[in-house]
Amino acid sequence: MTDTARQRAIEPVVEGPADRARPRLDIARWRDLSLVPVIFVLGVIGFIVSPAFLTEDNLIGVVQQSTELGLLVLGEALILISGRMDLSLESTIAVAPVVALWLVLPAHGARFEGLGLLPVWTAIPLCLAVGAAIGAANGFLMLKLRVNGFIATLGMLTMLRGLQVGISEGQSIVNVPESFRYLGKADWLGAPAAVWLCLGLYAIGGLALAYLRHGRALYAIGGNPEAARAAGIRVDRITWIVLSAGGLLAAFAGVLYTGHYGSVAATQGNGWIFQVFAAAVIGGISLKGGRGTLFGALTGVLTLQLVVNVMTLGGVPPLWNQFINGSIIIVALIISRYASGEKQD
């Protein structure tokens, strides 16, 4: 039977199967590393423009300045991976500390007058709780009322910023208790505590996404929520938790920010959300969900911060600062796109 079949074949099969399916295991890994060449190029430029670039002081400075943005990006990355977005993180970083301090600071005696309802040591837990509650409120809007997440969190952003202005009367809060400032300004083992904390949280997050079932579930939820649901993943519940975690991380970023800069700035986080998205997306996280790693997001943060650092060291004229900043971002994007060899969309 087969013989006749062979005969009828117009052309005989000449060669055995070629290298038909050599595993290209690591394309996903490559994508995560696509900013590494960019960082390298920035490093070389930094080294050329100023000898100060490679000093320990400068590099630690860059990393420390990245911590608060980094934590926001961490939260946003988790949210984006699970297919949602939260713009309000930019306000949470400010309003959570303000609310916490408002509850704990004494009602009289300083420029900013709180309610003095709770002991001072509760400030940090309160702040984190406020952050988580904001995330949960976003979750309520998106998951229960099923309204559009972009607008809901944009409304939240405005509302929370307004709440902060209302409570603080637009002032920075300077009389921050020492306990609240500690984490943002302490040094541990020769580097700022904030750096260790931020790296630690990234590591925990990265490990959870790679090795925990609930972490891995985020990719499924972001990639195809219906398939995730059909596979028995509690999509809504996990999304809700992720949104709360995002708020919590933003609140924690607020604690570090407050310690780092010595006060709750009135404009704390103002306009950061673009940076947050930029860092996440340039680091390989998809706005459509289900794709990206925290390592990539971290390289995104460092890239953005290095650009600022190198430009400052290079003495770019202030008037053209922004222009060059934008150009570098576009060039970095193109480099990373060709380094990863993948089309983006």
Partner 1 sequence: MAAVEQPTAVRARRIVKRFGPTVALDRAQLAVAPGEAHALVGRNGAGKSTLVSVLTGMARPDEGEVTFSGEPAPRYGDTAAWRAKVACVYQKSMVVPELTVAENLYLGRFPGSGRIRWPELREAARATLAEYGVEVDPRTRAKDLGVEQRQFVEIARALSFGARLIILDEPTAQLDAGGIDRLFARLAELRAQGVAFLFISHHLQEVYELCDTVTVFRDARHVLTAPVAELPKEDLVAAMTGDTAGAPGVDSRAAVRAPVTRRRAEPGGEPVLRTEGLCAEGAFAPLDLVVRPGEVVGLAGATASGNTAVGETLVGLRRPDGGRLAVRGRPVRTGSVPHALDAGIGYVPEDRHRQGLVPGRSVAENATLTVTDQLGPYGTVLPSRTRAFAQRMITSLDIKTAGPSQSVSGLSGGNQQKVVIARALAREPSVLVAIRPTAGVDVKSKDALLGVVREVAAAGSGAVIVSDELDDLRVCDRVLAFFHGRVVAEFDSGWTDRGLVAAMEGIAERDTERATERDMAGAPGGARDATHTGHQGGHDGTGGRTS
Partner 2 sequence: NRESDGAGGGKVGIDMPRTDTDFWNSYQQYLEKGIDKGTVSALPLSNSQNDISKLVANVQAFSDQGAKAIVMAPQDTGAVSSTLERLEEKKIPVISVDTRPDAGKVYMVVRADNRAYGTKACEYLGKKLGGKGRVAELQGDLSSINGRDRSRAFASCMKKKYPGITVHELPTDWKGDVASAKLQSLLAQHRDIDGIYMQAGGAFLQPTLALLEQKELLKPAGSAGHITIISNDGIPEELDAIRSGKIDATLSQPADLYATYALKYTRAALDGKTFKPGRTDHGSEIVKIENGLEDQLPAPLVTKENVDDPALWANQLEKKK
Ligand X SMILES: Nc1ncnc2c1ncn2[C@@H]1O[C@H](COP(=O)(O)OP(=O)(O)OP(=O)(O)O)[C@@H](O)[C@H]1O
Contacting residues toward partner 1, per CB under 8 A: 1-28, 210-214, 216-217, 219-220, 223-224, 226-234, 236, 290-291
Contact 193, 201 (CB under 8 A): no
* # residues contacting ligand X (CB under 6 A): 2
Residue that the structure tokens 């400052």 belong to: 312
**Choice from 8, 20, 22, 108 touching ligand X (CB under 6 A):** 20
Q: Minimum CB separation from a second copy for residue 109, in Å?
A: 22
DSSP-derived 3-state class of residue 62: helix
What whole-number distance in Å separates Cα of residue 335 and Cα of residue 329?
10
Kindly state the smallest distance separating residue 160's Cβ from a second copy, in Å: 7
The helix (H) or strand (E) run that includes residue 228 is: helix 225-230
Give 152 or 301: the residue with its C-beta nearer to a second copy.
Answer: 152
What does 14 interact with, of ligand X, partner 1, partner 2, none (CB < 5 to 8 A by kind)? partner 1
The DSSP secondary structure of 229-258, one letter per residue, reads HHTT--HHHHHHHHHHHHHHHHHHHHHHHH
Alpha-helical segments (H) within 20-148: 27-32, 36-49, 56-81, 89-104, 123-139
Cβ nearer to partner 2, comparing 167 with 339: 167
The answer to whether residue 132 forms part of the interface with a second copy (CB under 8 A) is no
The conformation of residue 140, written as its DSSP 8-state character, comes to: I
146 or 213: CB nearest ligand X: 146
178 or 226: CB nearest partner 1: 226
Question: Which of 12, 17, 232, 318: binder of ligand X (CB under 6 A)?
Answer: 17
Structure-token pair, residue 299: 């390289």
- What are the backbone angles phi and psi of residue 328, rounded to the nearest 5°? -60, -40
Q: Decide which of ligand X, partner 2, a second copy, none touches 17; Cβ closer than 5 to 8 Å per partner kind.
A: ligand X
* Buried-exposed string 23-45: b where 16+ CB fall within 10 A, e elsewhere: eeeeeeeebbbbbeebeebbeeb
Binding interface with a second copy (CB under 8 A): 141, 145-152, 154-163, 165-166, 169-170, 271, 274, 277-278, 281-282, 287-288, 319-327, 329-330, 333-334, 337, 343-345
Binding interface with ligand X (CB under 6 A): 17, 20
